[in-house]
Amino acid sequence: MARFEIKLLDVRMVRSQGPIEGAFELTGTASLVGGTGIVWPLFGGETSLPVGGVKALNRRIGVVEVGANEIRVANVRLAAVEHDNAPNPDESGKGSVSFELMENGGELIAGAVLNLAANGQLPLENRGRIQVRVAATPLDA
């Protein structure tokens, strides 16, 4: 049997919403489908992410066990909200990553791009984008 730690690594701003947009003020969630989940940042408030910036999160989402001769798929759901001041609405986005885990497998890293929009109102080319990276790391190695 092997155990894998599923960890939220970091978040990166891929594209801002335009020339007047400053830093993103973000909150988010990450959860294993059928398992545990987390909210980030850890102690409330918001994660400030400047244009082009990367913020290390390094948060454990959960642990997945894999039996001998078994392949287990671990699905991670991701969501983020970029908080704006009135009268502008908050923008949000969702995504997911999946890992195929096996007993003698090594570390895997995957990322999802989340397009941020208020109720889907902005055209895709005007949406802010972030990338969220997740790792599956063997604990018993």
Q: What is the mean pLDDT of each run of 10 residues along the chain (141 residues)?
A: 95 76 83 91 76 89 94 95 77 94 95 85 73 94 59
* Residues near 102 by beta carbon (within 8 Å), at least 6 away in sequence: 2, 66, 70, 71, 72
**Tokens 């997945």 label which residue?**
64
CA distance 56 to 76: 18
| The Cα angle at residue 134 between residues 132 and 135, in degrees rounded to 5 | 155
State pTM to two decimals: 0.89
The full set of domains in the chain, from first to last, is 2-138 (2.60.40)
Residue type (1 letter), 32: L
